[in-house]
């Protein structure tokens, strides 16, 4: 009862009703925050359980979402019976479902784009497959090259990885592989209690969107009124700061010096309690010292202004 229904494929746990929300919110909301409010088209390869689809369709700007899963009919039937809370996206008119091999679908779409000048690039792509290596055709350089051909310069691709604690070598290997194809290849993480080690990771890929330096329209995000269980703006940025044993094996990772001069939140978010600015340690020390000096100067000026008044009162006495 505690975990609710559990989906297992080939002996490997996929989701539970208890904590699927952690995984799916982090898969969708982290990258989509950068694409607000302009994203129009998205693609999910895998994801037949409907969890990523359901959350993706919460973004009203999207006009089309393609869901491609070779086992779509079987997994969809299981979802509708045992995870009905995730099945709403299957009925959304914006959803286009394809029970097809993801590798072949991408190959055909790549040819269609070459032949059709009006082909609309895909703004956001999710690889929500089984564990890395299980679907071999989805992890080759050639596949990612074709997939990138469906994207624009401003698009984002997210790949589900593995446990960065127990399978650090796999996480590092995939990050290094795809860093050769994308300018930005940043690993981020989430707490996933029922997955391997309880520590899970994703790979954020783009040629133009830097997860620390690219601004997010948090006003548009607030306007969505998402009812999140795990994700929030603080978790968004915090997820990119990795344990040292993971960070040192990657070609790039988030660091404090990546924080913009104006902070992540130049405008306050009163409904989420987000601070206006996050200071670096050395900047915080300077700010505290400056505020103390300014306070002392103000007190001295007030005392000086008050002294003639006291002198006048004493003369009258």
Among 128, 207, 245, 258, the active-site one is: 128
Six-digit token string for 2: 């505690």
Which of these, 91, 117, 62, 85, lies nearest to 15 by C-alpha position?
85
Q: Are strands 122-128 and 64-68 parallel, antiparallel or unpaired?
A: unpaired
Spatial distance between the Cα atoms of 236 and 82, rounded to a whole number of angstroms: 30
Six-digit token string for 89: 């996206």
Six-digit token string for 98: 């394809």
Place of tokens 């919110």: 25
Locate all alpha helices (DSSP H) within 36-116, ordered by sequence. Answer: 51-56, 72-82, 102-115
- Residue 169: CA atoms inside 13 Å, Cβ hemisphere, count? 0
Spatial distance between the Cα atoms of 62 and 122, rounded to a whole number of angstroms: 11
Is residue 128 part of the annotated active site? The answer reads: yes
Kindly calculate the radius of gyration of the chain based on its CA atoms and give it in whole angstroms: 25
Spatial distance between the Cα atoms of 289 and 68, rounded to a whole number of angstroms: 57
Q: Are strands 199-206 and 151-160 parallel, antiparallel or unpaired?
A: antiparallel
Which of these, 129, 130, 133, lies nearest to 173 by C-alpha position?
133
Active site (catalytic) residues: 128
């Amino acid at each position: 009862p505690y975990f609710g229904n559990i989906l297992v494929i080939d002996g490997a746990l996929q989701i539970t009703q208890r904590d699927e929300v952690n995984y799916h919110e982090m898969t969708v909301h982290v990258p989509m925050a950068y694409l607000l409010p302009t994203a129009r088209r998205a693609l999910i390869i895998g994801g037949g359980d409907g969890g990523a689809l359901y959350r993706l369709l919460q973004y009203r700007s999207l006009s089309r979402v393609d869901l491609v899963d070779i086992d779509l009919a079987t997994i969809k039937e299981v979802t509708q019976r045992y995870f009905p809370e995730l099945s709403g996206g299957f009925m959304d008119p914006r959803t286009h479902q394809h029970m097809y091999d993801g590798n072949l679908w991408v190959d055909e779409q790549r040819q269609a784009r070459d032949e059709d000048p009006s082909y609309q690039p895909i703004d956001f792509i999710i690889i929500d497959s089984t564990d890395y290596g299980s679907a071999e055709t989805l992890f080759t350089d050639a596949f990612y090259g074709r997939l990138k051909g469906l994207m624009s310069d401003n698009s984002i691709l997210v790949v589900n990885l593995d446990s960065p604690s127990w399978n650090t070598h796999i996480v590092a290997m995939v990050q290094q592989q795809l860093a050769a194809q994308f300018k930005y290849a940043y690993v981020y993480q989430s707490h996933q209690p029922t997955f391997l080690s309880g520590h899970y990771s994703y790979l954020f890929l783009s040629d133009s969107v830097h997860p620390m330096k690219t601004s997010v329209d948090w006003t548009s995000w607030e306007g969505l009124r998402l009812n999140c269980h795990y994700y929030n703006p603080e978790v968004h940025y915090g997820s990119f700061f990795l344990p040292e044993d993971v960070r040192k094996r990657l070609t790039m990772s988030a660091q404090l010096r990546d924080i913009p001069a104006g902070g992540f939140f130049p405008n306050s978010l009163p409904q989420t309690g987000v601070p206006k600015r996050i200071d670096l340690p050395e900047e915080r020390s300077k700010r505290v010292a400056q505020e103390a000096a300014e306070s002392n100067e103000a007190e001295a000026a007030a005392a000086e202004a008050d002294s003639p008044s006291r002198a006048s009162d004493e003369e009258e006495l």
